[in-house]
């Protein structure tokens, strides 16, 4: 009888413990998922220089500097409203320009988990030529007594330019063919790239040693895969709202903020200021909000993707996209092939 009573009391206690343990694990799991992204750096491209001049591209009535700041402010507002647990750091919070090298330093010093740079595209005017008439030209043939005067009509042309019709969005990542260059940049900036628990995680490593260079290679590869995935999600969202999709692109030079940031980094070219209809869209509140909304949705999808990546337990499994969307495997495979060549 005593044993039966003891068992009856023990069973509910065991159930309560099991349920509590499962809830704790679920809670811990949820907490871990929230920690995949703690800090996002929002970088408004260009900015007003000390002499008061504009630094970016110019449209028929507006400037890239102003559009970049307006879109970035809308993006920051959206982040605060929809993802309040994530810390947002602005590298250019005012209309004044922030030095390019300082933007990367701000991102690294704040230990960003994502770097999102907002820019506006521009296209060179299209050159055209048209005939505007003819001109009578005198010329001579023969010599001496046989020399004769003749005339002929020569077409006259004028060359002029018209605004380029290029339009749409494209998202840049650091070029995979320049991975070696990024490794050098990371090595040269080792002091600001060190993590809080660097020695605990990696031991005493000389930044110029082969071990450290190998470590930065692994980081670079990781950043490239994540950057390419986020860029793909961004372009997916732009395509969904009807924007002209110019795809994910790579740049190996000229984008220091992508080269020197120790985190997944993308640069979003939001539209063409040299196309009047695009310029109107980029300057409108509706257009700026739509751009920010697309980026926010892409970041949310990216976070879900990261959470699922953390749950993968098979070593070496290459599952880069876990939901329907743009296929960035071609870019990722390119990195794999280049690493194989380096290893030969």
32-87 pLDDT, tens digit each: 444 789 999 999 999 998 888 898 889 999 999 999 999 999 999 999 999 999 99
The predicted model scores a pTM of 0.69
**pLDDT of res. 331:** 55
CA distance 110 to 192: 10
- Homologous superfamily of 37-122+166-311+319-343: Zn-dependent exopeptidases (3.40.630.40)
Of the listed ranges 156-170, 182-196, 289-303, the least confidently predicted one is 182-196
Question: Average pLDDT, stretch 2-7?
Answer: 43
Which is more confidently placed, 30 or 47? Answer: 47
pLDDT classification of 14: cutoffs 50, 70, 90: very low
Helix (H) or strand (E) holding 89: strand 87-90
CA distance 299 to 301: 5
Instruction: List the beta bridge partners of residue 90.
Output: 42
Q: What is the DSSP string of 255-270?
A: -HHHHS-SS-EEEEEE
CA distance 16 to 6: 16
Instruction: List the beta bridge partners of residue 273.
Output: none
CATH 3.40.630.40 placement within the chain:
37-122+166-311+319-343
Task: Please name the residue ranges forming H helices in 100-255.
Answer: 100-109, 179-188, 190-193, 198-202, 210-240
CA distance 281 to 300: 24
Tens of pLDDT, residue by residue over 262-271, are 788 899 999 9
**pLDDT of res. 193:** 43
CA distance 255 to 297: 25
**pLDDT of res. 6:** 40
**pLDDT of res. 225:** 85
pLDDT above 60 for 313: no
Query: Among residues 231, 207, 202, which one has the least CA distance to residue 295?
Result: 231
Residue 342, both tokens = 């380096």
pLDDT classification of 108: cutoffs 50, 70, 90: confident
**pLDDT of res. 316:** 47
């Amino acid at each position: 009888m005593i044993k039966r009573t003891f068992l009856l009391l023990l069973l509910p206690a065991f159930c309560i413990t099991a349920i509590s343990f499962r809830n704790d694990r679920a809670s811990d799991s949820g907490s871990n998922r929230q920690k995949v992204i703690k800090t996002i750096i929002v970088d408004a491209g260009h900015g007003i220089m000390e002499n008061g001049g504009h630094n970016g591209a110019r449209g028929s009535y507006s400037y890239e500097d102003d559009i970049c700041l307006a879109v970035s402010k809308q993006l920051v507002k959206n982040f605060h409203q929809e993802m309040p647990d994530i810390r947002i750091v602005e590298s250019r919070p005012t209309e004044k320009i922030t030095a390019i090298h300082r933007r990367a330093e701000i991102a690294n010093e704040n230990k960003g988990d994502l770097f999102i740079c907002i820019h506006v595209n521009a296209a060179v005017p299209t050159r055209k030529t048209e005939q505007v008439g003819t001109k009578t030209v005198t010329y001579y043939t023969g010599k001496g007594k046989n020399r004769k005067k003749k005339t002929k009509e020569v077409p006259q042309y004028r060359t002029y330019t018209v605004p380029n019709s290029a339009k749409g969005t494209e998202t840049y990542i650091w070029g995979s063919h320049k991975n070696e260059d990024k490794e050098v940049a990371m090595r040269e900036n080792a002091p600001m790239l060190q993590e809080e628990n660097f020695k605990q995680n990696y031991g005493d490593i000389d930044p110029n040693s082969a071990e450290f260079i190998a470590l930065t290679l692994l980081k670079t590869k990781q950043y490239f895969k994540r950057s390419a995935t986020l860029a793909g999600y961004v372009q997916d969202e732009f395509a969904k709202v009807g924007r002209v999709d110019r795809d994910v692109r790579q740049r190996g030079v000229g984008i220091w903020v992508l080269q020197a940031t120790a985190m997944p980094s993308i640069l979003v070219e939001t539209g063409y200021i040299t196309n009047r209809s695009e310029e109107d869209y980029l300057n409108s509140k509706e257009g700026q909000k739509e751009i920010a909304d697309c980026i926010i949705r892409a970041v949310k999808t990216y976070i879900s993707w990261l959470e699922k990546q953390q749950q993968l337990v098979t070593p070496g499994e290459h599952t880069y996209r876990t939901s329907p969307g743009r296929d960035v495997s071609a870019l990722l495979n390119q990195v794999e092939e280049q690493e194989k060549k380096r290893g030969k």
